[in-house]
A and B are shown apart, each in its own frame.
Chain A
Amino acid sequence: MKWGNDLSTFVEKFRQYLKPGYYDEFDYHWTMTIDLDRCTGCEACVVACQAENNLPIVGEKRYAQNREIKWIRIERYWEGEYPDVKMGFIPMLCQHCDAAPCEIACPVFATYHNQDGLNTQIYNRCIGTRTCAVYCPYEVRYFNWFTYTWDEPLEQQLNPDVTVREKGVMEKCTFCIQRIRLAKDNAKDDDRRRVRDGEVVPACVQSCPTEAMAFGDSNDPEAKVSKMMKNPRGYTVLEELNTTPSIVYLKKAHAES
């Protein structure tokens, strides 16, 4: 019966609606692991991301107003007081949450989940309500408060694979989607169905001098990240919020004394 069909379609649609990004499963599930026992807080990753993703140079004044744009930043936490004082670093970038709070926020779908489990941001579609940034518990979304320019000839460095954003749009870590695209294209050219493990290396992961970060497809049980994720030190930040992040941190180990 027609009505019944409609109803079941509706129910079906509704079910889909409840899934992250409407997907039953992700083609790839790009995942990053960050080993805090290796990370030294050197910020090589920060510059790597800036170079790869055309992050603007905002200038001293804007920096003072907290308008900087750093898709990956290092957070610092002190523990204890002198002389028993310790410093903990944690690189903070978009967690590509499977249940992303930011995604329900956007009225125009400028941020959505793609079939790879990435939380993507479509600059062209963004109207700048900034709701996503308010909703993101990791505070990794950055807004273009102004149209930033580059002092000539610094603009010659800009990566042609990545859009330069204008004022009024939100931006954040993309897991270097341009590199993922390239790897997929290469795989296709080679008649491979899937990208090999290690073929996609985001800029930050690539640069890290201590090899603290790993990146790959956690749908592939053989991938390096899949193995790293099983590490007993593994945890996700703000687990209690149930955002199911795609970044697994490995807790800093302690010296057994």
Chain B
Amino acid sequence: MQFIGAGSLGVAGGVLYGESVQKDVELLIPQVVPPEDYSPGVASWYNTVCNQCSAGCGISVRIREGKAKKIEGNPVHPVSQGRLCARGQAGLNVLYNPDRIRSPLQNATSRESGSFTEISWDEALTTIGSRIGRLRIEGNASRVRLLTGSTRGGLDELFAQFMSLLGSDHYQQYDFTDPGALRAANRIAFGMDQLPHYDIKHADYLLSFGADYLATWLSPVHYSLAYGHLRQGRDGQRGRTVQIEPRMSLSGAAADEWIAARPGTEGLLALGLAHELLRAGSYTGSDRDEWASALQPYSPAMVAAETDVSVDTIVRIAREFAESTASLAIAGGATAAGTNAVASVVAVNALNYLAGNLNQPGGIFFNPDPAFSAAAGSRQVGMQGMLDLAEAMEAGDVEVLIVHDSNPVHALPENVRFRQAMENVPLVVALSSFHDETTDMADLILPTNTYLESWGDDVPDPGVGFPVASISQPVVAPLYDTLPVGDIVLALARRIGGELPIRMPWGTMEEFIKARWRDEYDGRTAGLEGQDFDAFWQASLEAGVWGQPGIVAGDPSMPSSAAMIAALANPVSEFAGDESDYPFVLHPYLTATFLDGRGANLPWLQELPDPMTSVVYGSWAELNPATAEDLGIREGDVLEVETPAGSVSVPALIFPALRPGVVAMPIGQGHTAYGRYARNRGANPMDLVSMQIDDRSGDLAWAATRARVRNTGERLQIIKTDGVTRTLGRQILGPKNDHA
């Protein structure tokens, strides 16, 4: 058994991840805070964890003269393997963002005014501590609510302890990008909450239902690496990918085949494929008959009529899927955001089940018990939870609302009225580094260190097939009068008093993390022989990650198909709005640059051309060229996109790979706050999304709204780098006539 971080890193890494180790390992110096006696002119690299999305990539930060210069992937981290996406690299813009909050702030006048005055940490913490302390003594602790984004690992544990010691069970998380439908469907299909490990790397036929796995889905860097391997990593064998989605995403562009099924029917298509797969006789399991009867209605002809995908295509894809030695079907994006989201994902899971892709190379692997037995994502409450919270706030049931790393005011559809609900909360506390829309509504802002200045740990979710845990460490000294979130929680615990300071005795987050790792170390014996905790800790810190590659999930028994079959019935997603009034389907999508909008305040990302359209600085609405021509719309015409939920005005962009009858809009812009780079730029498609919830996951069906567009006659320049996007017969993408 090999430990990453134990012994020689280079060797361990080399054994584990082969080609991914490139960096001079001597440069990895574990330090809490860069030492005073650094050698000028010599760079050192510190390993920590990326916090720009919830994939949990390991990163190495290059430090010179105490300043962070560059972020690269951590070569020994199994998720990122030395690579990193654009968002991860732009983490330096988070650290050195000119709009960071530099000291604790108190709302000067009204909530709306957005003007704040500086106060001292002591004052701020005392105010909050005494208020919560009083509630605790009065037995009203449940009037304290804590809302975070997708906090994981030690910080999540700390928050959880804090809230439970306080006596409030209202610690909840909301992250728009959290794959709630996927979790719910996996619970039904496989009986597990954790996301499985999708082994795209070894697949040779990847069927993706709306999952933009190369840019926004779950773990983009990991899957990009896998994709590279799928394509060209094996001699003489090139994996194929097929993408099913109404608007071509980055993964769609990479795919061999892009199929724009009718929006909301992707799950049905999966059932049609399953039907065909079964009919062709490639599934021979004992429950064949149950499947056959459940899938009976989904004949290719019927599915073809509903999905607008030809019978031939359905039959062919089903055959290819069945015949491939390592096929894999995944679902995400709009497929997992209809009113039938969970059913659709279950249907996709069924495909995997029927093609025998479970626990097979190139298929789906179940992760073994994670290093720290926290069920990731279990605190995600989805839209239903947020509605409940808003309702509670509206009803005056919430006296203290603590928000961290979550921006519901921007991320939730307008009609949740979260902003208005916040008015009813006497004390809103924001733990935040930036003035985002939610933070600006707070009474007290406690400025936090960024992730590059904080201690923490993380268990990546989805995992990589074996237990892995990463450590975050501060790579630079805090720039301003800010505190790590963990330290704020601990300090609050001390102010609140009672049981809290006794049960949470750690002075700082660092101590807490170390104690936590000591517990974990004590709880594990296998593979740790002959290594004391200090050596283990030191090695893990150096590597930024610890893992046990040999360990796989114990007894991955085949899940029973009954639950899956029961959950199959897959009504087509229902759309808000009447087709005659609203002829278009609104397709909001996550962008590779901003994700759900958290990256919008980073200048490097604002200046990064959107990968599919090359647009920078702003948002737009995409139309199919034929549709646009019919409506007489040219690029740059300002459109009013209207849905039953609201309307926004954005310039039109003609996008060739979009299903007619769909209007696509990128998520991420449209901030009314959030610093100079993000403020008042573009529109937020969330304002257009009707409140429809998939009951089975409680998540928002954000791709189930109809829309209409109207040309306002105004014009707005779309800033983009593309000139002409056709090769004009020039052989730029390679010589024509050979298909090597």
- Point out residues on A near B: beta carbons under 8 Å: 35-38, 40-44, 46-48, 50-52, 57-58, 60, 63-64, 66, 68, 70, 73-79, 81-83, 85-90, 151-154, 156-160, 198, 201, 203, 206-212, 231-233, 235, 237-239, 249, 251-255
The answer on a CB contact under 8 Å between B248 and A85 is yes
In the complex, what residue of chain A is closest to B221 when comparing beta carbons? A209
Query: Which one of A52, A160, A209, A251 lies within 8 Å of B83 (CB-CB)?
Result: A209
Known contacts A78-B725, A87-B612; is-contact A64 B232 (Cβ 8 Å): no
A251 and B733 in contact (CB under 8 A), knowing A46-B608, A47-B604, A209-B84? yes
B612 touching A76, Cβ below 8 Å: yes
Determine whether the beta carbon of A64 is less than 8 Å from that of B717: yes
Q: State whether A251 touches B734 (Cβ < 8 A).
A: yes
* Partner among A35, A75, A77 whose Cβ is within 8 Å of the Cβ of B232: A35
Verify A252–B69 contact, CB threshold 8 A: no
Residue of A nearest to B215 (CB): A42
- B89 contacts A48, C-beta separation under 8 Å: yes
**Nearest CB in chain B to that of A73: its residue:** B721
Q: Whole-angstrom distance between the alpha carbons of A107 and B479 in the complex?
A: 46
Q: Are B625 and A87 in contact (CB under 8 A)?
A: no
State A41–B735 Cα separation when bound (angstroms). 20
Question: Told that A47-B89, A86-B253, A233-B734 touch, could you supply 12 new A-B pairs with CB distance under 8 A?
Answer: A35-B228, A38-B231, A44-B88, A48-B84, A51-B70, A63-B607, A82-B626, A83-B260, A87-B253, A157-B69, A203-B70, A239-B731
Are the CB atoms of A157 and B607 closer together than 8 Å?
no
Interface mask (B88-106 → A, CB under 8 Å = 1, otherwise 0): 1110110111100000000
* Cβ–Cβ contact A41 & B626, under 8 A: no
CB B243 to nearest CB in A, in angstroms, measures 11
Please state if A233 and B248 are interface contacts (CB–CB under 8 Å): no
CB pair B228–A210 under 8 Å, yes or no, is yes
B339 interface residue (CB < 8 Å to A): no
Give the chain B neighbours of A153 by CB distance below 8 A: 96, 98, 479
Which residues of B are found within 8 Å of A52, using beta-carbon distances? 70
| Contact with B740, one of A50, A58, A156, A253 (Cβ below 8 angstroms) | A253
Are B253 and A68 neighbours in the complex by a CB distance under 8 Å?
A: no
What's the Cα separation between A35 and B229 when bound, in Å? 12
A147 to B82, CA, bound (A): 34
Q: Which residues of B contact A206 (CB under 8 A)?
A: 22, 72, 82-83
Q: Does B444 contact A (CB under 8 A)?
A: no
Selected from A36, A63, A82, A253, the residue in CB contact (under 8 A) with B617 is A63
Contact of B725 among A46, A66, A77, A81 (CB under 8 A): A77
With most chain A CB atoms within 10 A of its CB, the pick from B248, B479, B609, B726 is B609
Q: Name the CB-closest residue of A to B239.
A: A255
Contact at A60–B719, with CB atoms within 8 Å?
Answer: yes
Convert B63-79 into 0s and 1s, putting 1 for each residue whose CB lies closer than 8 angstroms to a CB of A. 01101111111000000
Stretch at the interface among B29-37, B163-171, B653-661: B653-661
| One of B67, B258, B593, B733 near A90 (C-beta < 8 A) | B733
A152 to B65, CA, bound (A): 17
Q: B227 an interface residue at 8 Å Cβ cutoff?
A: yes
Nearest A residue (CB) for B228: A210
Shortest CB–CB separation between residue B423 and chain A, in angstroms? 33
Pair B611/A42 contact, Cβ less than 8 Å: yes
CA distance A160 to B593 in the complex (A): 27
- Residue on B nearest A251 in the bound complex, by CB: B734
